[in-house]
Copies of this chain bind each other. A is one copy, B any other.
Amino acid sequence: MIRFECDYLEGAHPLIFKRLGETNLLQTAGYGEDPFCAGAREKIRAACGGADVEVHFLVGGTQTNFTVISAMLRPHQGVLAASTGHINVHETGAVEAVGHKVLPLPSEDGKIRAGQVRMAYEAHWNDKDHEHMVQPGMVYISQPTENGTLYSKEELQALHDVCRELSLPLFLDGARMGYGLMSEANDLTLEDIAKLTDVFYIGGTKVGALFGEAVVIANPMFRKDFRYFIKQHGGMLAKGRLLGIQFDTLFTDGLYFEIAKRADGLAMRLKDAFTKKGYGLRFDSYTNQQFPILPNDHMERLKEKYTFAFWEAVDDSHSAVRFCTSWATQESAVEELIRDIEEL
């Protein structure tokens, strides 16, 4: 089987693996207080344009989401998010488990708009019984979204502006950040994102690392005592240097960006192949996730040789599915898949 069902099918980029090997028997302090983490923090700050940001390393995405959200909200507040947002559907209620309601906003494409945020805010505060409802306390978005779509700079600026105006902090889940930044459709830089959000994270798990997410706290208000939150929620890796070494490698000589760009390119070749074949697209993605709508008999035949994710039934004879590329996808695998699609 050739696997395309997600972007965490393999281990780590070989350069990361090499660095882990070279440093394996060195002794360092634990819990992220080692020189590798310090170095990685510096490189991430530099990649954010030298901004005054605080950087922390956690192990996985769900963990990062509920840890950050629990640090940003008071108990009576909830988090505004797209109804399709990862925190709303695919984290086993981790946000609720730390006490907060996800306040879903309808979304067709995975994105939410500034106007929706304002409406939700006003609906809350205009209700004379607002104390009987969960108070919107922050906004969660993902870039790219779970549907592979991207916020433009203009859209993110608009979200930033409305959030600033309404005192709602903005948190950006960048589990697939690299694939967004390097998309041909993208016009945002890490520096922009550091300016336009209060907290965001740069995903490692899906972009070259064994595991790891780098949380960037731009707003000083949310820095206080953040390490306590990491520890309390089980995200403080004893051998924290593993995270430092990985992110240091990813942010040396542009590795993070280079491998993401390659994966995006392979995904766009798949997209072309789907389109040429006449398949519709469930979402118009320019990132490493592609969502073609396949005739069910084609889907069944592809399943014999490839793995990919079922997304949803579109009608009686068609299904939307997801193919992912990643830093590790082999060009030959993509070419073989394209040939097989053409021959269907």
**Interface residue ranges, A against B (CB under 8 Å):** 1-3, 5-6, 8-12, 14, 17, 20-21, 23-31, 59-64, 66-67, 70-71, 74-76, 78, 89-94, 96-102, 129, 131-135, 205-206, 210-211, 225, 227-239, 242, 328
Partner pick for A91 among B97, B232, B328, CB 8 A cutoff: B232
Looking at the complex, which one of B6, B26, B92, B206 makes contact with A134 (CB distance below 8 Å)? B92
Q: Is the interface of A mostly helix, strand, loop or mixed?
A: loop
| Nearest-neighbor residue (CB-CB) of A10 within chain B | B25
Contact pick for A93, options B91, B225, B232, B237, CB 8 Å: B232
CB pair B11 A17 closer than 8 Å: no
Task: Check B8–A24 contact: CB distance below 8 A.
Answer: no
Contact B100 A96 (CB under 8 A): yes
Using A9-B27, A20-B11, A227-B131 as known contacts, say yes or no to A93 and B97 having CB atoms under 8 A apart: no
| Shortest beta-carbon distance from A200 to chain B in Å | 18
The reply to whether A24 and B10 contact each other, CB–CB distance below 8 Å, is: yes
Report how many copies the assembly holds. Answer: 4
Which of B11, B75, B133, B229 is in CB contact (< 8 Å) with A229? B75
Contacts of A232 in B (CB 8 A): 62, 75-76, 91-94, 97
Residues in B neighbouring A225, C-beta threshold 8 A? 74, 76, 131, 135
Supply 19 A–B pairs (Cβ within 8 Å), ascending by A.
A5-B29, A6-B30, A10-B26, A11-B20, A11-B25, A17-B24, A21-B21, A25-B328, A61-B238, A76-B232, A90-B129, A93-B100, A93-B232, A94-B233, A96-B96, A97-B98, A210-B242, A211-B238, A211-B242
